[in-house]
Chain A
Amino acid sequence: MVLHISSALTASALHPLLCFCFHNTYPEMENASGLHRQLASMKKNLFDQGYLDEQFYQLEELQDESSPNFVEEVVTLFFRDSSRSMANIDEALQQCPRDFHRLDKFLHRLKGSASSIGAAKMKNECTRLREFCSEENLDGCLRSFQKVKNDHTILRQKLENYLQLLRQVGPVDRASRSGS
Chain B
Amino acid sequence: MEEVEKREEGSNDGKLEGGVEVRVLVVDDSPVDRRMVEVLLKKSGAMFQVTSVDSGKRAMEVLGLSEDKTKSPVVDDQKVDIILTDYCMPEMTGYDLLKAVKEQSCQKPIPVIVMSSENEPQRINRCRAIGAEDFIIKPLQTNDVLRLRSYARTGLPPPPPPPPSSSSNAGTKRKMTIELMAESGGGGSERRRPRLTGLAVA
Given contacts A105-B90, A111-B117, A116-B139, contact A62 B32 (CB under 8 A): no
Instruction: Name B116's closest neighbour in chain A (CB-CB).
Output: A112
Chain A at the B interface: mostly helix, strand, loop or mixed?
Answer: helix
Instruction: Report the minimum CB–CB distance from B42 to chain A (whole Å).
Output: 8
- A111 to B141, alpha carbons, bound, how many Å? 18
Pick from A62, A66, A108, A116 the residue with the most CB of B within 10 Å: A116
**B43 interface hit (Cβ, 8 Å):** yes
Inter-chain contacts of B72 with A (CB < 8 A): none
Residues A112 and B30 in contact, CB atoms below 8 Å apart: yes
For A62, give its contact among B30, B39, B88, B138 (CB under 8 Å): B39
Given contacts A74-B35, A78-B32, contact A116 B138 (CB under 8 A): yes
Residues B141 and A58 in contact, CB atoms below 8 Å apart: yes
Instruction: Report the minimum CB–CB distance from A75 to chain B (whole Å).
Output: 9
Residues A54 and B138 in contact, CB atoms below 8 Å apart: no
**B33 interface hit (Cβ, 8 Å):** yes
Residues B30 and A116 in contact, CB atoms below 8 Å apart: yes
Residues A54 and B117 in contact, CB atoms below 8 Å apart: no
Residues B31 and A112 in contact, CB atoms below 8 Å apart: no
Q: How many A residues touch B, CB cutoff 8 Å?
A: 24
Given contacts A54-B174, A109-B30, A116-B138, contact A73 B35 (CB under 8 A): yes
**A117 interface hit (Cβ, 8 Å):** yes
**A164 interface hit (Cβ, 8 Å):** no
**B172 interface hit (Cβ, 8 Å):** yes
For A81, give its contact among B32, B40, B88, B174 (CB under 8 Å): B32
For B32, give its contact among A64, A66, A77, A108 (CB under 8 Å): A77
CB within 8 Å of B: which A69-109 residues: 70, 73-74, 77-78, 80-81, 105, 108-109
Residues B139 and A115 in contact, CB atoms below 8 Å apart: yes
Residues B172 and A113 in contact, CB atoms below 8 Å apart: no
Residues B39 and A115 in contact, CB atoms below 8 Å apart: no
Inter-chain contacts of B178 with A (CB < 8 A): none
Against A, the Cβ 8 Å flags (1 = close, 0 = not) of B24-44 are: 000001111101100110110
**A55 interface hit (Cβ, 8 Å):** yes
Residues A117 and B32 in contact, CB atoms below 8 Å apart: yes
Residues B174 and A113 in contact, CB atoms below 8 Å apart: no
- A31 to B17, alpha carbons, bound, how many Å? 48
**A67 interface hit (Cβ, 8 Å):** yes
Instruction: Report the minimum CB–CB distance from A122 to chain B (whole Å).
Output: 13
- A77 to B30, alpha carbons, bound, how many Å? 10
CB within 8 Å of A: which B21-66 residues: 29-33, 35-36, 39-40, 42-43
Residues A116 and B88 in contact, CB atoms below 8 Å apart: no
Given pairs A62-B36, A112-B138, A115-B117, 4 additional interface contacts (CB within 8 A): A62-B39, A67-B43, A115-B139, A116-B138
Chain B residues engaging chain A, CB cutoff 8 angstroms: 29-33, 35-36, 39-40, 42-43, 88, 90, 117, 138-139, 141, 172, 174
